[in-house]
Amino acid sequence: MKKPFIRASGLASPKQQHNWDWRAASNFIAGGAGGGLLLCAALAALAGLDAFAMRAAILLGLILIGGGLTCVWFEIGRPWRAMNVYRHFSSSWMTREAVVALTVFAAGGLALLTGASALGVLAGILGLGFLYSQARILAANKGIPAWRHSASIPLMVATGLAEGAGFLACVATFSATSSGSAVLLGLLVLIAVRAWFWKSYLNGLVADGAPDAALRVLKALGPRLLLIGHALPALAVAAALAGMPGRAALATAAGILAVAGGWVLKFTLVRRAAFTQGMALPHLPVRGKGPSGPAVKPGWKIIGQAHKV
């Protein structure tokens, strides 16, 4: 059978990466939420969250981080070589993530055993370090324009914290103290922060240029994220803070929606919007005499014609 003819523009255009599948995405999804939850739990403990809810939040945070790391471990072609990840601390954010994960489990485990609030706070600080390391892992992949943009780092941190606050809002419904309002207020603030960084991220991609396919995927996500991840949980939090009946149900619904929005965002970013750089020509060649053609970058939006979203 004759092989199909492939145009040069098709070869040069950005392609969707398939090296990081759902297992890699799960590490960012669950691990980021776990790190955010540990920090939010530490801050809530300082605001009066009771010991039971604190321990439940720490346990859930460790389970999320462990689950994410397990998923990415199964993605490795030779899982038993995973220890090699610890060999490049000076240059690899993946190594730093793995090192921080060890300290997170150590501090979190001791906090669960002893109930010491200081260890819970330490676990929260280390959870933030884990979350930040994950954000830098994504940004370090320079071949994926949607990942390497500097605005992806605060977006990943912001959504991890919003997801952590969402989980904490669910846990805090079982709290016997009056910290529930502080948790809900924190969730509302973090939802707003995530919405702001999401808009900033999209505007940055459009302004600096990105593959058309990636922009289409991310722009299509925008309305769903606005509704599910931002508007509905914010309304539920506002209703709970206003004293409407069913406060616990409203807080739980707000937390679940905030988490769901963040997880859809990260899965879309890691899997569906991950298009490669592609190739570019500084000018088009010409046969014979005459001026060369303009520069081309197949599959990319022209920056001068971009509009903010």
Write the pLDDT tens digit of every residue in 147-170. Answer: 999 999 999 999 999 999 999 999
Distance of CA 133 to the CA centre of its chain: 11
Q: What is the mean pLDDT of residues 125-152?
A: 95
Reply yes or no on whether the pLDDT at 191 is more than 50: yes
Confidence of residue 219 (pLDDT cuts 50, 70, 90): very high
Hey, what are 97's tokens?
């993530």
Hey, what are 76's tokens?
């490795």
**Which tops the pLDDT comparison, 279 or 273?**
273
* Residue whose C-alpha is closest to residue 164's, from 206, 144, 134, 203: 134
Distance of CA 99 to the CA centre of its chain: 19
For the chain, domain boundaries: 19-305
Lowest-pLDDT range, 20-29, 90-99, 164-173? Answer: 90-99
Reply yes or no on whether the pLDDT at 1 is more than 50: no
CATH of domain 19-305: 1.20.1630.10
Nearest-angstrom CA–CA distance, 24 and 174: 32
Q: Other CB atoms closer than 10 Å to residue 115's CB: what's the count?
A: 13
CA angle 50, 53, 55 (to 5 degrees): 105
43-60 pLDDT tens trace: 998 888 888 889 999 999
Hey, what are 285's tokens?
């060649």
Mean pLDDT of the chain: 86
223-278 pLDDT tens trace: 999 999 999 999 999 999 998 898 899 999 999 999 999 999 999 999 999 998 87
The neighbouring-strand residues paired with 284 are 293
